[in-house]
Amino acid sequence: MKVYFDTLGCAKNFGDSEMAMGMLEQHGHEVVTDPTEADAIVVNTCGFIDDAKKESISEIFDMARFREAGKKLIVSGCMVQRYAAELFEEIPEADGFLGVNDYEKLPGLLDELEETGERFRSVGEYDPEAFEAEEENRKLPDNPYTAYLRIAEGCDNRCAYCIIPHIRGNYRSRSKESILREANRLAQAGTKELILIAQDTSYYGKDIEGRPMLAGLLKELCRIDGIEWIRIMYAYEDNITDELIRTMAEEPKICHYIDIPLQHASDRVLRDMNRHSSRASIDETIRKLRTAMPDITIRTTLIVGFPGETEEDFAELQQFVAQQRFERLGAFTYSREEGTPAAERTDQIPEAVKEERLDALMVEQMQISLEHNQALIGKKLEVMVDRLDEDGESYVGRTRMDAPEIDNSVIFSAVRDHEPGDIVTVEILDAFDYDLEGREV
């Protein structure tokens, strides 16, 4: 059977899809890149916040149009893990539903579907053996010059607004041996940039050894030939240790970049969110990072409009952003997720107020971002090529300061032809709110 994957949501979802594709090919199925060529279409959904669920539902019905041509439609991922029974009843257009722990069953379920035509629903429990074997099953793209490396699954944090622990379970670190095997395989396939992901990367190893072990893992990843950049995403502040900061500063392959989802700066709101950080601990961690690596790029995400957030709380958040001047910052309005403690609160903030606060915060951040970029004019930066620009004459790439898809880009003219993954030196000639322009040196 020919199968097409339509993946929504975060990098962890894309990792699930790559693993499922690999297992399908191992069982004789064929993965295609065009839905019109497929016998079956898998929509891998996101169920994190309300907007993501709406997008997933829209995409399911968009792909359902192919059923008229006799194609099968499978819905998988976080939304299925959370709402399998309801989706099975309410979306008869789909032939099957698959949870986040059941991808290894997909080849057999497709065979059975083709034979019997009977709809299925499979939402099982976490299988540690399947997780450890992930690197053996993953299907890599033709040129995996940048690749996500999942080091853990699930989450032990119980943030009051978040449903992820209910979907993906408690925190489970992958064994170091499994991670290193996958990293070596990626390097041999041509990967130059490893992007470490988990629900909370800085927590890695704490469920095994009782203390964070990310620094030790990073040191071993740095020894792998072929890997040139290593990037850390989703590192919670309360487990960013002095050892981790020292390792980042000492190891040249580790980008001076870290993504820290802080969510807020008011101690009262942080307590209500059931976060383990305080304004004082956040300020101190950022101070340590900037002292050890003056050139570090810190990315964060913030939530505005959490239940009970007062004007004073939001003013403190604005003051915090103005003080810390984050190089990269994303923000979103609080989403009321059923099944979470925050959803039960009676002091919900009106949508209009949430949107107003979001706009105010992002206008301020846009100016900060522009000033950071303008300070780079005239500098020569190391840039990884991502693609040829639409004009066919320029290239689009990223610096060590930027993760793919979510951060800034560098558009530059080149003196020679390049392929994605090439690392070149670019002189910055102009700067905008979120992008840079330059020329290859």
Binding-site residue numbers for [4Fe-4S] cluster are: 10, 46, 78, 155, 159, 162
CA distances 187 to 304, 324, 347, 385, Å, are 40, 36, 50, 17
The Cβ of residue 409 has, within 10 Å, a number of other Cβ atoms equal to 21
**Distance from C-alpha of 168 to C-alpha of 176, rounded to nearest angstrom:** 20
Q: Which residue has the tokens 């009977």?
A: 118
Specify the 3-state DSSP secondary structure of 253.
coil
- HSE (CB half, 13 Å, CA atoms) of 101? 16
**Distance from C-alpha of 194 to C-alpha of 192, rounded to nearest angstrom:** 7
Any bridge partners for residue 388, and if so which? 395
CA distances 431 to 298, 365, 411, 438, Å, are 19, 15, 10, 9
Annotation: binding site: 10, 46, 78, 155, 159, 162
Side chain identity at 85, as an amino acid letter?
Answer: A
- The answer to whether the CB of 28 falls within 8 A of the CB of 111 is no
Axis crossing angle, helix 176-188 with helix 214-221, rounded to the nearest 10: 30
**Distance from C-alpha of 196 to C-alpha of 244, rounded to nearest angstrom:** 14
Q: What is the DSSP letter of 70?
A: T
Any bridge partners for residue 427, and if so which? 380, 439
Specify the 3-state DSSP secondary structure of 321.
helix
- HSE (CB half, 13 Å, CA atoms) of 368? 21
**Distance from C-alpha of 79 to C-alpha of 49, rounded to nearest angstrom:** 10
Q: Which residue has the tokens 């850390």?
A: 232
**Distance from C-alpha of 147 to C-alpha of 193, rounded to nearest angstrom:** 6
Sign of CA dihedral 106, 108, 109, 115: positive
The Cβ of residue 185 has, within 10 Å, a number of other Cβ atoms equal to 16
**Distance from C-alpha of 358 to C-alpha of 141, rounded to nearest angstrom:** 37
Long-range CB contacts (within 8 A, 24+) of 344-351: 345/307, 345/308, 347/307, 347/308, 348/307, 349/305, 349/306, 349/307, 349/308, 349/309
